[in-house]
């Protein structure tokens, strides 16, 4: 009852999926009273500027950690139903599988040079009996017809529409921010420089530099949620959170592709990749690569590769460096097994940083830090979009109820590693 009568100055640091869902659920908690509770979200660059706008958007009941996945997966479905998520952020149930394939040398220039393919594109719907026999033997579903039959070695289903879904991360994150704003949450673009904790006794204020004016401002705070993804340790140094860079591309396939998310294992030919007179060297490749490919609504495919630690975490999401060679690698890999992707148009080449927890217990870290009023919600690795709603719901319970009610998350307590 105390939370309903006392005034609160709630400050959320980070405008990614965790910060935005925290703002959404805080502003919809039964105890929230705009006349007594002020919620401010501070974001250094732009909403969904990092991994929350550049991830794949896979949702799965078989994700981890198990103590928040069911809650968050259910909340995704409820949010989509309540706010028109199917049209607003591309929510839909899908199939997911593991595909093993042998890559080919790419012959078409379509996806390799960002220009739409010209000439006739042969659809895999017109498979001959020999090709169909190979697909059947490999266990490939009939509607998963956008992989070259001669490349496929095996297919195993990981999830079906009862256990697997997807969203467009950028659209979902920005929608959560907009819906929170409708309930009175103030969103400010500014970089946090200091959290005043009164020598560890409790939070008192947050100081930030306004992005536009470059002026410094200090706002009062009774509750601070640090949800800055890989930048969390920049804001709160004790947090054992680091960043790993990940590249991805989006492709407009040469024909519509069915709703599958595919984890691939591709054996590459020695001469994979583009060769022309403009290249002075050729990047080395592993013999086997594992790009992930997610078919999205509106004839879009998202593909991502492995991470790297070659470039340190920059100041903000706007300063992330994209390695175009690594993006080209992803394009070459997926083109080696799919005509639809090979002959498609590359629409985006991008990079982001995923937050990892540097502790044996793993992550994410959700809950009190030991400093009164200071909470942590970070380290979600590749499952931030999946676990965003659940995390936001639990944060709202910590702030207004003093404890979680929707899930038991003792294993994710930040105080175990701080």
Predicted model pTM: 0.91
Please give the pLDDT value at position 282: 56
Please give the pLDDT value at position 136: 61
Each of the 418 residues of the chain gets a pLDDT tens digit; together they read: 444 568 999 999 999 999 999 999 999 999 999 999 999 999 999 999 999 999 999 999 999 999 999 999 999 999 999 999 999 999 999 999 999 999 998 654 444 444 333 333 223 333 445 545 555 656 899 999 999 999 999 999 999 999 999 999 999 999 999 999 999 999 999 999 999 998 778 999 999 999 999 999 999 999 999 999 999 999 999 999 999 999 999 999 999 999 999 999 999 988 776 554 344 445 666 789 999 999 999 999 999 999 999 999 999 999 999 999 999 999 999 999 999 999 999 999 999 999 999 977 788 999 999 999 999 999 999 999 999 999 999 999 999 999 999 999 999 999 999 9
Rg of the chain over Cα atoms, rounded to whole angstroms, equals 23
Please give the pLDDT value at position 263: 98
Helix/strand/coil (H, E, C) string of the chain? CHHHHCCEEEEEECCCHHHHHHHHHHCCCCCCCCCCEEEEEEECCCCCCCHHHHCCCEEECCCCCCCCHHHHHHHHHHHHHHHCHHHHCCCEECEEEEEEEECCCCCCCCCCCCCCCCCCCCCCCCCCHHHHHHHHHHCCCCCCCCCCCCCEEEEEEEECCCCEEECCHHHHHHHHHHHHHHCCCEEEEEEEEEEECCCCCCCCEEEEEECCCCCEEEEECCEEEECCHHHHHHHCCCCCEEEEEEEEEEEECCCCCCCEEEEEEEECCCCCCCCCCCCCCCCCCCCEECCEEEEECCCEEEEEEEEECCCCCCCCHHHCCCCHHHHHHHHHHHHCCCHHHHCCEEEEEEEEEEEEECCCCCCCEEEECCCCCEEEEECCHHHHHHHHHHHHHHHHHHHHHCCCCCCCCHHHCHHHCC
Per-residue tokens: 263 = 């984890």
Please give the pLDDT value at position 137: 59
Please give the pLDDT value at position 204: 97
């Amino acid at each position: 009852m105390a939370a309903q009568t006392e005034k609160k100055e709630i400050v959320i640091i980070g405008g990614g999926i965790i910060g935005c869902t925290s703002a959404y659920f805080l502003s919809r908690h039964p105890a929230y009273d705009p006349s007594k509770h002020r919620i401010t979200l501070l974001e250094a660059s732009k909403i969904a500027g990092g991994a929350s706008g550049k991830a794949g958007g896979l949702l799965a009941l078989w994700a981890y950690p198990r103590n928040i996945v069911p809650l968050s997966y259910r909340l995704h479905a409820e949010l989509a139903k309540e706010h028109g998520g199917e049209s607003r952020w591309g929510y839909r149930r899908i199939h997911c599988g593991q595909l093993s394939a042998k890559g080919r040398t790419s012959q078409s220039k379509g996806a390799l040079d960002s220009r739409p393919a010209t000439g006739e594109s042969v659809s895999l719907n017109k498979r001959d009996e020999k090709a169909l026999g190979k697909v059947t033997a490999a266990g490939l579903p009939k509607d998963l017809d956008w992989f070259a039959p001669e490349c496929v070695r095996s297919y195993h289903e990981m999830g079906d529409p009862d256990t697997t879904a997807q969203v467009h991360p950028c659209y979902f994150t920005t929608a959560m921010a907009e819906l929170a704003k409708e309930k009175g949450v103030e969103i400010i673009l500014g970089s946090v420089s200091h959290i005043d904790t009164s020598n560890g006794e409790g939070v008192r204020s947050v100081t930030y530099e306004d992005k536009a004016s470059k002026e410094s401002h200090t706002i009062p705070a009774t509750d601070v949620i640090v949800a800055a993804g890989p930048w969390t340790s920049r804001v709160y140094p004790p947090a054992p959170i680091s960043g790993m860079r990940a590249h991805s591309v989006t492709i407009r396939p040469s024909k519509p592709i069915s709703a599958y998310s595919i984890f691939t294992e591709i054996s590459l030919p020695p001469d994979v990749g583009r060769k022309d007179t403009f290249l002075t060297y050729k990047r080395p490749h592993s013999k086997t690569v594992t790009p992930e490919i997610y078919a999205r609504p509106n004839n879009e495919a998202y593909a991502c590769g492995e991470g790297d630690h070659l470039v340190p975490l920059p100041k903000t999401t706007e300063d992330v460096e994209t390695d175009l060679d690594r993006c080209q690698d992803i394009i070459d890999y997926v083109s080696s097994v799919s005509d639809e992707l090979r002959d498609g148009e590359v629409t985006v080449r991008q990079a982001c940083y995923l937050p990892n927890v540097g502790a044996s217990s793993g992550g994410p870290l959700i809950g009190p830090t030991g400093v009164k009023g200071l909470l942590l919600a970070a380290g979600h690795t590749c499952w931030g979009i999946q676990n965003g709603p659940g995390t936001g719901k639990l944060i709202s319970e910590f702030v207004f109820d003093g404890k979680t009610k929707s899930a038991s998350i003792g294993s994710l307590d930040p105080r175990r590693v701080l």
